[in-house]
Amino acid sequence: MIWTGFAFPLQSDAQVSQITVGITAVKESDWQREAARSTPSAGLRERLNALTLVELSGAVNDEEPTILRSGEERAIVTEWKFDRAKDEPVAKKTVQELIGTEVRLQQEPPKNPAGATRISLRLTHDLSPPQLQSIPYANAATGAERDKRSVTAPRYERLRWQGEVLVGVGERVIASFRSANDPGTRIVVFFKGSAGSTVAPGLEVKHTIYRVPEMEMLEWMLKDAPD
């Protein structure tokens, strides 16, 4: 299922979870203040004075993945070839790529005795439109006659997050990123889900965070995940 709005049909023959994912910007000083206090997750967004950048909501069932998207698709050249008649590089392969935010959700079988709903979540978020940069391109000539040209390629300021979350009744933080361009700002991702009366107990959840293009990888075990 792919949703681009906020009104979603429900399937009566499948277990359905209502999910909301919010991406926000907060002051780093406010984030550090709340982290030092070890305050409860309830009302955290308000205490942080979080500015909502994008919020996506949808229904996830146990039959098929759900994709929530916001933004627009753009044509991105992924491969080039050298046209000798034109004496210049030309696009060989172009793909339509979403510039914006995409959340992929898949409901998984429970792993714990309480039977809490478990969801695999993969998030991609562009902090800004891609900037075009010039990169060298060499044609098929050899030796001293080898001509070098240049082509343009996008440089992304893109965040990615993937992991598993348990559906509970309260909103909570599932990820945060320091801003590469603004050390005083932190990007914070909030998650809220509801699956009937199920309340998610605290479990260890493995997360992977990486940033494009730097591809800085960080893995850790988050213990005692909040309800």
**Would the pLDDT of 174 be above 60?**
yes
Count of other CB atoms within 10 angstroms of residue 196: 11
Answer yes or no: is 227 within a domain. no
- pLDDT tens column, 83-137: 888 888 888 889 999 999 999 999 887 766 666 778 889 999 998 888 888 887 7
The answer, as to whether pTM is greater than 0.85, is: no
How many structural domains does the chain have?
Answer: 1
List the domain range (segments joined by +) for residue 64.
2-222
Residue 135 lies in a domain: yes
Rg (CA), the chain: 22
Structure confidence at residue 168 as a pLDDT band (50, 70, 90) = confident
CB burial class (10 A; 0-12, 13-18, 19+) of residue 84?
A: exposed
